[in-house]
Structure 1
Amino acid sequence: MSSWVAIDFETANEHRGSPCAVGMTKVVDGRVADTWGTLIQPPTGLSRFSPFNVSVHGITPADVASAPGWRAVLADIIVFADGLPLVAHNAGFDMSVVRAASEAEGMPWPELRYTCSQVVARRTWKLLSYSLPYCADAAGIAFADHHDAGADATAAAQVMLSAMQSAGSTSLDGLLRGHQIHWGWMTSAGEWSGSHYRGHGARKPLPGANPDADPDGALYGATVCLTGKLTSMTRDEAFHKLAEVGAQPTGNVTKKTDILVSASQTRLKPGDTLSGKAKKAQALLEASQDIEVLDEDEFLRRLHG
């Protein structure tokens, strides 16, 4: 399988069912062949635009006033994909948008097969952050329009192509097989499974975390440190949400820390000045600890992704 379609969504607010833009990039026989995208009018009841989301992607209610709704957009997505599998950077987020928006409109989920360029990037490069700008930088891709859905979809496609080249793979199936990553999927019967690396054993729940949290969640089993002031919620709210999804919040970066959320940098990019905690995380990474730094937007995308 050397043909697929990369996809990226932006949302109006923290609810996954509030898509306000989508971008898609089609790869055919290992080359970018076509692109498509549109603004989206979010489903009724989920159309509030939060100041934080607007600050990230710049899309406002006025921009989507005459845009098509989810029902029409999903039909166009299916037509453009034309039966090919999907690729997304942090696919847990983008596929949750498809499911939640469909549920908000009372529609069955589409039948989809997908994988994640972020999961592949973790098996390809050792980085301080696996957000899209860092992965694009590692892949040698010029990328300046992060959070433009079309630009993000194209960057995700190029990251995947670069990972294939690094692995000497001519197909997406071969790349995933070599990295022990299984395909994700969803069905119209309401069943789904994410795209994950199979090499690690099952992650263990942490003391004090929600024992009923989804073990396939992006933050499940992780020790998460926060630095700086979050824009979207208070620190106490963030700690509560982390515990709900099976993570353990902490105030300090230690050898047990898996993720540092650097809230003081809302758009972390390669070359940004790092905070003291982020510099400590960099030192731990260089000492072979698996630790990652997230900006606030990436943190929110993973919180329920």
Structure 2
Amino acid sequence: MTSTSPSFSPSTFEAIEFELTGFTVQVTAGFLSVFPRINTSSEPGIASAPLAAVVREVQAGSYSAALSEPTRFLPGQLALPCGLPSARFMPSRLAVAEALSGFLSALSKGSSLADGAATGNFTVLADWIRSNAAGVGGVTVLGGPSSTGGATVSEAIAEQLALGGVGKRTEGSGTIRDFVAFDVETANGDSGSVIQMGVAVVRGGEIKDRHSWLCRPPKGLDYFDEDNIAVHGITAADVASEPPFAEQVAKFIQVVEDMPVVAHNARFDFTALDRACRAEGIEVPKMSFACTYMWARQLQLGLANLKLPTLTKAAGSELENHHDATADAVACAEIALWLMRRQGVDSVENLSTQLSLTMGSVGAGRMRNVRYDPSAGVSGATEGSSAGGSAGAGANGPATPAKSRRRKNPKWDAAKTPDKIPDPNPDADPNGLLFEQRVTLTGDFAPYDKGFLWEKIAEAGANINKGVTKKTTILVAGPWDSVTSKEKRARQLRDEGQEIEIWSEKDLFNALSLSPEEDSAGTPGSGGQSAAGFGSTALPGDDGQPPF
């Protein structure tokens, strides 16, 4: 196996590409290669093996193209020959993995495909794909003769989105709607101790304005921690003569107007905004926001990590003054523009919808963070987006817009109960707190959705109840605007003598070894299994470190 890219002439480049989760497997006339689905200006990390060597290993019987199917939370794997790294894939890419497995299995002795691969005949390779994998979204033939009459394979974007997959699209050329990128720096470990706000204003698809506001932090939160100073370099003396936060945030609100806002790890920045306003005794501004970190997680870009400098470099730029709020806001805007163009959408809201993410909000009585929610997605490009086809040999064209669902009440959507109840794990630790308990959830459990928590509770050996009954032993009450009907019923039953415990969401998170503060920023919990897209841990390709 080599770690360098096989050489080819771009003008005559011919290849078959299998787009899996985070990585693409590429077959040319001479090589089988594995590389990230996006290239950065750093080393792309291509691993390749001669196709003739692949054929020999398959025919020698020392390689089997068996694959393990993915689950809701864990990717499947397909081992590759010649020491190449295994190909990982989520459920939306199962058909692609099966097509690749079939291709490799067909390299056995006596097959015309094996003869074509051994002799470097790309026409034979392409014909096999056109005959056996036509219409599989994520399998693409690049170049190659088309005289054999087989159907050309190109990525069916709408089909993949309907299955929950997100494939790389041709970069859209339409105008992107205006938005603002936002970042804050703080004086200490309290997120409300805001000392700098930075903004980049995007109009007409370009960064038009930059703003930076230093400020004195809110009273009671105005001490400076050496660790924070070491990160951003701003001291108490630097802001001593600056206006207070309340005065500077008014300027920020005036710049934002009614535009959507994006931030990288938006949970931190908007928690800071919300808490600082409350500490100052002023009204929290009403804003909707998206998170570029969550976008990147959902897209599974195959990068070493999803930190701001890494994504900025992937977007074709450099972050030279990291942890200056304005520099970070500009970098966030560049990442947002890159991802929107990459996915062929024209607005912050449309990309969030495409990736099954809700928009966050502040200023409506409580803060709502960006969260994964399958009901937020649509089966195709959202209305107003300019989705293009893949860069394959087939015709490109916009996907048919699908009507986005109007969400009548996001508060209830956040706390809704899933339809399917998972079965308890009979082999769970019998000494665990949840083993053989009957558990009901009520309220909100951000950053996790109830479907994910149900799976974790069932894994611990508990039975899940949708309602509170005389068999319920634990009710977990997450935050809510008032006491829920389930909690009232549980308290009533307890007063009547039933042995029923009422837990807070923190009690449940501790029992499941989940760490919501870390998970909302992409850091794995101390014991949580990777649960892609549910806020629990980082996706494949993420290093599990905070996204700063």
Q: Which stretches in structure 2 are left out of the alignment for 5+ residues?
A: 1-175, 376-416, 423-431, 435-440, 457-509, 520-524, 533-537
Q: What are the superposed Cα offsets for residues 181-237 of structure 1, whole Å, 9 maximum, x if unpaired?
A: 22111224x2231122324998x9xx779x99963238x97x9xxxxxxxxxxxxxx
Secondary structure of residue in 2 paired with 1:21: strand
Structure 1 residue aligned with 2:357: 181
Question: What TM-score do the two structures reach when normalised by structure 1?
Answer: 0.70
> Does the alignment pair 1:191 with 2:468?
no
Please tell me whether the aligned partners of residues 195 and 245 of structure 2 are also in contact (alpha carbons under 8 angstroms): no
> Does the alignment pair 1:61 with 2:241?
no
Paired residue type of 2:217: P
> Does the alignment pair 1:153 with 2:329?
yes
Paired residue type of 2:203: V
- The within-5 A match list for 1:1-305 is 2-124=177-299, 125-188=301-364, 190-199=365-374, 215-217=445-447, 245=516, 248-249=525-526, 256=529, 289=540, 291-294=542-545, 298=548
Secondary structure of residue in 2 paired with 1:34: strand
- RMSD of aligned Cα (Å): 3.4
Indicate the percent of aligned positions where both proteins have the same amino acid. Answer: 30
Structure 2 residue aligned with 1:272: none
2:433, 2:282 → 1: CA distance? 37
Please tell me whether the aligned partners of residues 199 and 211 of structure 2 are also in contact (alpha carbons under 8 angstroms): yes
1:68, 1:159 → 2: CA distance? 31
Instruction: After superposing the two structures, state which structure 1 stretch, 123-132 or 94-103, moved more.
Output: 123-132
Question: What TM-score do the two structures reach when normalised by structure 2?
Answer: 0.40
Please tell me whether the aligned partners of residues 194 and 215 of structure 2 are also in contact (alpha carbons under 8 angstroms): yes
Paired residue type of 1:68: P
Instruction: After superposing the two structures, state which structure 1 stretch, 178-187 or 57-66, moved more.
Output: 178-187
Please tell me whether the aligned partners of residues 213 and 244 of structure 1 are also in contact (alpha carbons under 8 angstroms): no
Secondary structure of residue in 1 paired with 2:249: helix
How many residues end up aligned between the 2 structures?
244
Please tell me whether the aligned partners of residues 515 and 526 of structure 2 are also in contact (alpha carbons under 8 angstroms): no
2:219, 2:308 → 1: CA distance? 30
Offset of 1:102 from its aligned partner? 0.8
**Alpha carbons of 1:243 and 1:198: their partners in 2 closer, same or farther (altered >3 Å)?**
closer
Paired residue type of 1:292: D
**Alpha carbons of 1:249 and 1:167: their partners in 2 closer, same or farther (altered >3 Å)?**
same
Paired residue type of 1:183: M
2:266, 2:183 → 1: CA distance? 9
Paired residue type of 1:85: P
**Alpha carbons of 1:22 and 1:289: their partners in 2 closer, same or farther (altered >3 Å)?**
closer
Q: Which stretches in structure 1 are left out of the alignment for 5+ residues?
A: 224-238, 260-284, 299-305
- Structure index of larger Rg: 2
Q: What are the superposed Cα offsets for residues 33-52 of structure 1, whole Å, 9 maximum, x if unpaired?
A: 11111111001111111111
Offset of 1:172 from its aligned partner? 2.3
User: Whose relative contact order is higher, 1 or 2, with alpha carbons under 8 Å and at least 6 apart?
Assistant: 1
**Alpha carbons of 1:123 and 1:256: their partners in 2 closer, same or farther (altered >3 Å)?**
closer
Please tell me whether the aligned partners of residues 213 and 245 of structure 1 are also in contact (alpha carbons under 8 angstroms): no
